[in-house]
Each structure stands twice: as structure tokens, then as C-alpha cells.
């Protein structure tokens, strides 16, 4: 199937569609005050997550905490970020977003977090692109455990932390997907769980007292990530610059994005 021709892949109502990063959201131009602040991100060692780490490091953030399952990619990301951005402290933890006790332990040990970015995702049902009825119940449950329940848990634990010394509102920036608003073969678990995750973030945003924490979900674009490489032929999609979601995440953490609180962008 040609993903470029799927309905709503590029919504008609969007007049300017960006495929590359641009000056307005550049980390050097952002109004996000990164001094003394801490970012915790899941799946931040590869792909979109790593680009987000780079953008926050460019903005001058003091500390980046990365949670990801594989020790090897964590070690590589820590080394690369440390060399490129020596003034940013990078810490890594091997953990799955669905390992609730481990996530709680890590967040409590980290202590102060200003920006939480849940980027981890499960798209196990995309492999083979089977009809919905051919998926196993356990497989769909596992996808929801990462994409929805795991998201809920990490946000809940983040909100239980005390206020940070840096002051100002905190941010939760959920890396979602355009799949949350579309259909494609084999994506019943992934697409529907991403839609549910967006709703979860919206409810957090409306329930939390205004001014304490800002909540966003955003579609990062069509990025040639390792996950995409496993499931989509490269010539099916016009791929976009991975720096775009990285820089946009920093902009979302700035005061300029306050009007989008609770929304899917």
C-alpha cells in the first residue's frame, strides 16, 4: 500500500506542512529556559527520542535521563551525547515503560524532573500487517500495556514528585503518531492505542491545576526510524527530517506553547 495516498496523511486544512526543522523552533531561538533543568525520556537512545535528546542538549539543559530496554544502545547514546554536549549530564537506565516497579524506582531515585517525554512505543501488530481478527488477544494487551497503561503509570509517578528547584511549570510531552487518527493494514493495536494515549494525556491536562504542569501529545512526522525500517518499505513514504520532532519538542516545553495544553498537535 502507498502510504502517501492514505486519507488524512497530510490533512488538507494544514496550509504549511513542515518536513524539515525551521528557525522558529530552533533550540537556539526557543524561549524554553533550560538552565538547571532535567529531562527524562523513554526510548531516548535511538531515532526520534535521540533527536529530542540532542535538541534539548543544544538548548542547554543540565541533565538528560534516558530509559530504554537495551543496554547497548543506551551506552552508545550516552557516549555520543557526552562528546557532543559535555555540559549536559547524561544518565541511562535499562528499563521498559511497562515495567511499573522499575519505572517507579527510577523516577524516585532521579528526584527532580522538569520535562517528561514518554517516547517508548509498541507496534508489534504491524509486523506482517495481519487483519485485525488474526491478532492474538495477548499481543493487543501487550501493546496497550506499553502505549497506554505504561504511559499512564510514568506520568502518574512524575506528578507525584515534589516541585523542582528550577521553578516554573513542568511539561509532559507525549510522542504520539499520526496513526492515532488514521487506518492502515495491520495497525489495529498500534493505531487504537495511540488514540487512547492521546485521550489519556488530554485528561491529565484538563484535570491538573492550571499552571502546575503542561501536557501535550504530538505527531512527530514520517521519520525513517528503526521501527519504520522494520515495517514500511522506504519508497512508500516521503520521509522527513528527524531534527523536526526534536526541535519541536523543545518548543513545546517553552511558554510559547502554553495555549496548546492538553491537545494533540
Residues annotated as part of the active site: 176, 190, 194
DSSP 38-96: EEEEET-SSHHHHHHHHHHHHTT-SEEEEEES-HHHHHHHHHHHHHH-TTSEEEEEE--
Distance CA 99, CA 68 (A): 11
The owner of cell 509517578 is 157
Q: Is 25 helix (H, G, I), strand (E, B) or coil?
A: helix
Q: How far apart are CA 46 and CA 186, in angstroms?
A: 24
The dihedral of CA 218, 222, 225, 230: what is its sign?
A: positive
Helices (H), the chain: 47-58, 71-84, 100-110, 137-144, 150-159, 188-207, 226-231, 243-252
Task: With beta carbons less than 8 A apart as the criterion, state whether 202 and 264 touch.
Answer: yes
- The C-alpha cell 538552565 sits at 35
Amino acid at each position: 500500500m502507498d502510504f502517501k495516498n492514505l486519507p488524512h496523511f497530510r490533512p488538507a486544512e494544514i496550509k504549511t506542512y513542515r518536513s524539515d526543522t525551521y528557525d522558529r523552533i530552533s533550540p537556539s531561538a526557543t524561549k524554553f529556559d533550560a538552565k538547571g533543568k532535567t529531562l527524562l525520556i523513554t526510548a531516548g537512545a535511538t531515532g526520534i527520542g535521540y533527536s529530542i535528546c540532542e535538541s534539548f542538549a543544544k538548548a542547554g539543559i543540565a541533565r538528560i535521563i534516558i530509559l530504554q530496554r537495551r543496554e547497548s544502545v543506551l551506552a552508545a547514546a550516552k557516549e555520543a551525547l557526552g562528546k557532543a554536549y559535555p555540559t549536559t549530564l547524561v544518565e541511562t537506565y535499562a528499563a521498559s515503560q511497562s515495567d511499573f516497579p522499575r519505572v517507579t524506582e527510577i523516577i524516585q531515585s532521579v528526584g527532580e524532573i522538569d520535562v517528561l517525554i514518554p517516547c517508548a512505543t509498541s507496534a508489534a501488530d504491524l509486523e506482517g500487517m495481519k487483519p485485525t481478527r488474526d491478532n492474538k488477544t495477548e499481543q493487543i494487551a501487550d501493546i496497550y500495556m506499553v502505549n497506554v497503561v505504561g504511559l499512564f503509570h510514568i506520568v502518574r509517578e512524575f506528578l507525584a514528585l515534589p516541585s523542582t528547584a528550577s521553578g516554573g511549570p513542568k511539561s509532559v510531552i507525549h510522542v504520539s503518531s499520526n496513526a492515532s487518527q488514521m487506518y492502515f493494514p495491520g495497525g489495529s493495536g498500534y493505531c487504537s492505542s495511540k488514540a487512547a494515549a492521546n485521550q489519556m494525556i488530554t485528561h491529565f491536562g484538563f484535570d491538573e491545576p492550571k499552571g502546575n504542569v503542561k501536557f501535550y501529545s504530538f505527531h512527530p512526522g514520517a521519520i525513517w526510524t528503526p521501527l519504520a525500517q522494520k515495517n514500511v518499505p522506504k519508497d512508500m513514504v516521503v520521509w522527513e527530517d528527524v531534527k523536526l520532532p526534536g526541535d519541536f519538542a523543545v518548543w513545546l516545553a517553552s511558554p510559547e506553547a502554553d495555549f496548546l495544553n492538553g491537545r494533540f498537535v
